[in-house]
Structure 1
């Protein structure tokens, strides 16, 4: 259903490095690089993440309430991806932990541009 999600960034090289390294364990790689926009994912036939500098030339602004969510497959993987994001320069926006009783386990970070993301596992 989702083709790709785009987030605005201030430094393309830094963003490409951050997201390709962070998501490589899920099979992601740099798929297409067109200068001001790049697509990261497993293949162009599946969902991908696009990072770009804004078309209007104005500074990027992370949205309030917008968030990328990644499902790495287990609670242990949530912890691993959270830690990897921190090591790559993200900031904590909610340490890994059980939320919503036994139904949802999650961790939250913000990338260098303030874009929020979650790593989660249901169950």
Structure 2
């Protein structure tokens, strides 16, 4: 149902490197790079992440309450990607842990521009 999610960034090269490194083991890569916006994913017909500098030329601002979440497939994968994001320069916004007993395991980071990202596993 979601084609892509767009987040504003301050440095395109830095954002592309962060997200391709972070999501590369899922097969994600820059699929389309149009200077101020780049689409990162596995293919153009699967959900993608777009990073862009704001169209109006104003500084980017992460939204309060905005977040995008990436399904991991296991608790171990949640832990691994949380750790990888931190190693790539993200900041902790909620260490890995069980959020809903027996149902939802998640971890939260803020990327290099303050955008909130969740890694999660249902099961």
Q: Which residue of 2 aligns with 1:119?
A: 119
Equivalent residue of 1:114, what SS?
A: coil
The CA deviation string for residues 52-90 of structure 1, in whole angstroms up to 9 with x for no partner, is: 000000000000111010011100000000000000000
RMSD: 0.5
Q: Which residue of 1 aligns with 2:73?
A: 73
User: How far does residue 25 in structure 1 lie from its aligned partner after superposition?
Assistant: 1.1
User: How far does residue 100 in structure 1 lie from its aligned partner after superposition?
Assistant: 1.3
Q: How does 1:1-123 map to 2 (within 5 A)?
A: 1-123=1-123
**Unpaired segments of 5 or more residues in structure 1?**
none
The CA deviation string for residues 1-50 of structure 1, in whole angstroms up to 9 with x for no partner, is: 11110000000000000001100111111101100000000001111000
Taking structure 2 as the reference length, the TM-score comes to 0.98
**Unpaired segments of 5 or more residues in structure 2?**
none
CA contact under 8 A between 1:26 and 1:72: conserved in structure 2? no
CA distance in 2 between partners of 1:81 and 1:41 (Å): 16
Size of the aligned set, in residue pairs, is 123
